[in-house]
Amino acid sequence: MTGSAAEAAGPRSIAASGDVGVAVTGDGARVVTLPAEAVEWVRRVEAPPGAGNLPGSASGVFVGREDELARLHALLTVNGEAAVTQVPGVGAVHGLGGIGKSTLALHYAHTHRRAYTVVWWLNASSTEQIVAGLAALAAHLCPEWAGGTDVSERAARAILWLQWHPGWLLVHDNVEDPRDLRHYLGALPDGHHLATSRTGTGWHSIAPAMPLGLLDPEAAADLLCSLALGSHPTPQQRAEAAALAAALGHLPLALEQAGAYLYETGTRFAEYRSMLGEVIDTATGGIDPERTIARIWHHTLTVVEGRDPRAITLLEAMAWLAPDAIPRTLLAPLCPNVRELGEALGVLHAYNMLTFSADRQTVGVHRLVQTVLRHQQLTTATGADAVPPGRRNAEHLLDQAIPEEEAPDQEFERLLPHATALAETTPPHPPAPARTVSAWQAVARYLNRQGRDAHAVPLRAAVLARSEQVLGDTHADTLVARSWLARAHKAAGDLDRAVPLYERTLAQREQLLGDLHPDTLASRNNLAWACWSMGDYTRAIALHETTLEQRERVLGDTHPSTLTSRNGLACAYDSAGYLARAIPLYEATLEQRERVLGDLHPSTLISRNNLAYAYSSSGDLERAIELHEATLAQRTRVLGDAHPRTLISRNNLAGSYRAAGDLDRAIPLYERTVTQSEQTLGPDHPDTRRRRRNLASARRAAAAARENGDVSRDPGSGTR
C-alpha cells in the first residue's frame, strides 16, 4: 500500500486517500475501499458549468450586509476558509438562531459562484448530515452509478473528486461543533470552505471567524418594508416600519416572520405593533426579544390555522421532537393521506415556520419556534395534570414508528434523536404513558446492542423518572431502571453519577430481596465494576470476592454469572498488581467459558482479551500478541468493527505491539482506535482521552522499550 493512510478525525467524517482509493468514516463504522474505476472516475469527471445546489436564489431581499459580504470575501480569498457566527453577548439574540448567517452565506455563494468550479451547500448540523451532503455531491457529478452505492462510498468519491479538482466552494451551514470540520479543512485544502454557526467559540484553531451582529436600524426598516410591501414605502410607512423594527429588536428572523405575515394579510405596520403591545408586558429597556418573537408567531399561526388547521396540529407535535430531519413518514399518522400532509406542510413552509430538506422527505423546525410552542402549550393546558395535545401527538407518533427489534439499524437511527428529544422535554406531570416508556426502552435497547449505552442517558433517566412516579421508589421495575441508568452513566464515563445509583440499588435490593437473591448479587457485581472503574481496587476486590463466593454457593461453579464474577475478581487483582493471582483466574475462566458458552460468545472473548492483557503485563508478549490478534479478529466478526469492545481489543493489541518494540504496527492501530472512540464514545470520554494519550506517547517514543502505556482492560460487567 502506498501513500499516507486515510484518517478521519470526527464522528461520521470521511477520510479519503486519493492515491489508493480508501476512505474511513470518522467513527470508524466502516472503511470504504473504492474500486480502481472509481479512482479513475474522480480524475476524469469534470463538473458542468455552474454546478451547485444552493438552497435559494440571490434575487430575494438582502440589505444591510454589504460590509460583511466584503469582509467575508476577503477572509476566503486570503485564508481559504471562514466561519460566520453570532456576536456573543448580544442581549437581543440570547444565543438563538435567526441572525441571518445562512442568508449572508447564500448571498456570497451566489455573488461569486462563477469564480468556482462547484458551489455545494452542506447541512452541517451533524456529521451524518455532512457525509450525506458529500454523497449527494458525488451523485450530482455522476448520477448514473449513484443508485448502486451506499452513502459512505458516495461521500468517499466526492472527497476524492474535490482532492483532484481544485477551485470549489463548500458551504457548511449551521455547524454545531467546529471540531466537526477540522478533518475536512485539512484534507481538502484546494478550495474554499465557508461555515455558518450559532456558536462564536471554538473557531480559533479551525478557521478565522467573522461575528455577525444584529441589523442596524436603517437596514432593519428597509428589510421589513421590502418584505411587507414589495414596493417603495411612503414616509409614514417608513416611519412605522422603523418603529416596528425597533420593537422586534432588529432581529432578522423576527423581521422576516413579521414581513411574511404583513404581506399575506395586508396588516399595517402600526396595527401589527399595536397587537404586540396588547399581549406583551412593557419592560424598562425594551421588549424581551424572545417574547416578541413568540407574539409574532402567535399571530402568524392564527393565519396558518385559518388556512389549514392540520398545519398547527403538525407543528405543535414537531415542537417536542428533534428540530432537524423529522421524517415525513413519522408525521403521516396526523394526516389522512399523503396529499393532505403535503398541503399542511406547504402552508407552514409558506410562512417560514419550517424548512424542507433537499429531497423534501424530512423537515426542520427552528429551535426557537419549538421553544415558544412548547411554552405556549404548557401554559394553556388546563388542569394540573393536563398534557398538551401536541405532546400527546408526538408521543403517539413515536409509539407508532418504533420498529421491531430485528429491523435495520437505519430505522432506529432516524428515530433516535426524536425519542431522545421527547425524553429530554418530558413535563414533570403527569407521568409519561406506558407506551411511550416502551418506545424509549426499545431505542435504549438498540443503543445497548450497538455498544452505545452512553448515548442512552436521557432515555434511561426518563424511564426511571416515570417508574418512580407510577410504581414507587422500591418497585422491582424501578430498581431495574435505576441500574440501567447507572450503567449508562458509567458508559459515558460519569462515575460520580453512576456509583451512587449502583449503591442505592444494592442497598434497596439487600433490604427487599435479601443478601443472596440473584438480583442483589447482580447489583453487588455492578457496584464492584464501578469501583474498579474509579480505581478503588481495594473495594472492588472485596466486593468481587464476596459476590464470587455467594454466586458459587447459590448458582454453581460454572453458571455464567459466576464466571462473570470470577472474571471481575481477576481484573481487580490484575489492576491492583497481583498478577500471580490474576492470571490463573483468567485462565480458568477462559477455559470454563469456552466450554460452557462457546468459543465466540462475547463473554468468552472478554476472557480471552483479559488474559492476553495479563500476559502482556507479565512480559509474555508472544502469547499476548497471539491472543490479542485472535480476539480482535473474532470481535470484529461478531460485534462489528466499531463496537466498544472491538476498540478495546484494537487498543490493547496496539499496546502489545508497542511493548514488543513494533511501533510501525502499533501507531496505525492507535490512530484508528482514537478516531473510532471519538465517534462511539465521544471525544471527551475517559477511554477516548486515554487512547489519545497512548497515541501521543507512541508517536513520541524513539526507542523500542515499552513505556507505561495506559491501555484498557475489558470489564464485561452485566446489569439487571
pLDDT of residue 39: 77
- Cis peptide preceding 336, ω within 30 of 0: no
Q: 246-250, 292-296, 693-697, 708-712: which has the minimum mean pLDDT?
A: 708-712
Residue 462 confidence class, pLDDT cut points 50, 70, 90: very high
pLDDT of residue 618: 92
pLDDT of residue 41: 75
pLDDT of residue 20: 41
Instruction: Judge residue 168's burial from the number of C-beta atoms within 10 Å of its C-beta, 0-12 exposed, 13-18 middle, 19 or more buried.
Output: buried
pLDDT of residue 383: 66
The yes-or-no verdict on residue 291 having pLDDT over 70 is no
The string over 639-676, giving b where at least 16 C-beta atoms fall within 10 Å of a residue's C-beta and e elsewhere, is: bebbbbbbbbbbbbbbbbbbbbeebeebbebbbbbbbb
Q: For 413-429, what is the mean pLDDT?
A: 93
Stated as kind and residue range, the H or E segment containing 355 is strand 355-356
The yes-or-no verdict on residue 471 having pLDDT over 70 is yes
Q: For 353-371, what is the mean pLDDT?
A: 81
In percent, the amount of the chain with pLDDT more than 90 equals 46
Q: 73-82, 83-92, 195-204, 536-545: which has the minimum mean pLDDT?
A: 83-92
Q: 253-267, 403-417, 598-612, 683-697: which has the minimum mean pLDDT?
A: 253-267
d(CA 205, CA 181): 11
The yes-or-no verdict on residue 605 having pLDDT over 90 is yes
Return the bridge partners of 14, or none.
25
Amino acid at position 470, single letter: V
Length of the chain: 720
SS3 label, residue 95: coil
pLDDT of residue 293: 59
pLDDT of residue 48: 85
d(CA 594, CA 159): 45
Which of 712 and 674 is assigned the larger pLDDT? 674
Cell numbers 477551485 correspond to what residue?
Answer: 167
Work out whether the CA dihedral 402, 404, 405, 409 comes out positive or negative: negative
Instruction: Judge residue 86's burial from the number of C-beta atoms within 10 Å of its C-beta, 0-12 exposed, 13-18 middle, 19 or more buried.
Output: buried
Q: 4-18, 23-37, 503-517, 625-639: which has the minimum mean pLDDT?
A: 4-18
Q: For 621-634, what is the mean pLDDT?
A: 94
Report H helices in 19-150: 36-44, 66-79, 101-112, 127-141
Residue 530 confidence class, pLDDT cut points 50, 70, 90: very high
In percent, the amount of the chain with pLDDT more than 70 equals 81
Work out whether the CA dihedral 513, 515, 517, 522 comes out positive or negative: positive
* pLDDT tens-digit series, residues 105-160: 888 888 888 889 999 999 887 888 888 899 899 888 887 766 677 888 888 888 88
* 517: CB partners within 8 A, 6+ apart: 509
Q: Which of 173-187, 231-245, 381-395 has the highest mean pLDDT?
A: 231-245
pLDDT of residue 18: 44
Report which of 81, 158, 153 is spatially closest to residue 118, judged by C-alpha positions: 158
d(CA 244, CA 11): 44
d(CA 6, CA 3): 9
Q: For 698-702, what is the mean pLDDT?
A: 75
Q: 396-400, 425-429, 617-621: which has the minimum mean pLDDT?
A: 425-429
Q: Which of 152-166, 238-252, 369-383, 438-452 has the highest mean pLDDT?
A: 438-452
Calculate ∠ Cα 8-640-671, nearest 5°: 30
pLDDT of residue 713: 47
d(CA 680, CA 464): 24
Residue 214 confidence class, pLDDT cut points 50, 70, 90: low
Q: For 592-607, what is the mean pLDDT?
A: 94
Stated as kind and residue range, the H or E segment containing 24 is strand 22-25
d(CA 533, CA 212): 45
Q: Widest CA span of the chain, in angstroms?
A: 92
Q: For 641-659, what is the mean pLDDT?
A: 92
Which of 104 and 710 is assigned the larger pLDDT? 104
pLDDT of residue 266: 83
User: 364 near 354, Cβ under 8 Å?
Assistant: yes
pLDDT of residue 247: 72
pLDDT of residue 23: 46
Which of 486 and 259 is assigned the larger pLDDT? 486
The yes-or-no verdict on residue 532 having pLDDT over 90 is yes
Q: 216-225, 280-289, 503-512, 534-543: which has the minimum mean pLDDT?
A: 280-289
* Backbone dihedral region for residue 165 (phi beyond 0: left; psi -120 to 50: alpha; all else: beta): beta
Q: Are strands 362-364 and 326-327 parallel, antiparallel or unpaired?
A: antiparallel
Q: For 155-172, what is the mean pLDDT?
A: 89
* 311: CB partners within 8 A, 6+ apart: 304, 305, 344, 345, 347, 348
The yes-or-no verdict on residue 681 having pLDDT over 90 is no
Mean pLDDT, all residues of the chain: 82
pLDDT of residue 61: 53
Residue 712 confidence class, pLDDT cut points 50, 70, 90: very low
The yes-or-no verdict on residue 719 having pLDDT over 60 is no
Q: For 59-68, what is the mean pLDDT?
A: 64
d(CA 46, CA 689): 42
Please provide the DSSP assignment of 35-57 as one string. -HHHHHHHHH--PPTTEE--SS-
The yes-or-no verdict on residue 705 having pLDDT over 80 is no
pLDDT of residue 96: 32
pLDDT of residue 277: 42
User: 720 near 483, Cβ under 8 Å?
Assistant: yes
Q: For 176-190, what is the mean pLDDT?
A: 79
The yes-or-no verdict on residue 416 having pLDDT over 90 is yes
Looking at residue 642, the DSSP 8-state letter turns out to be T
Cα dihedral 185, 98, 416, 414 in deg (nearest 10): -80
Q: For 264-286, what is the mean pLDDT?
A: 59
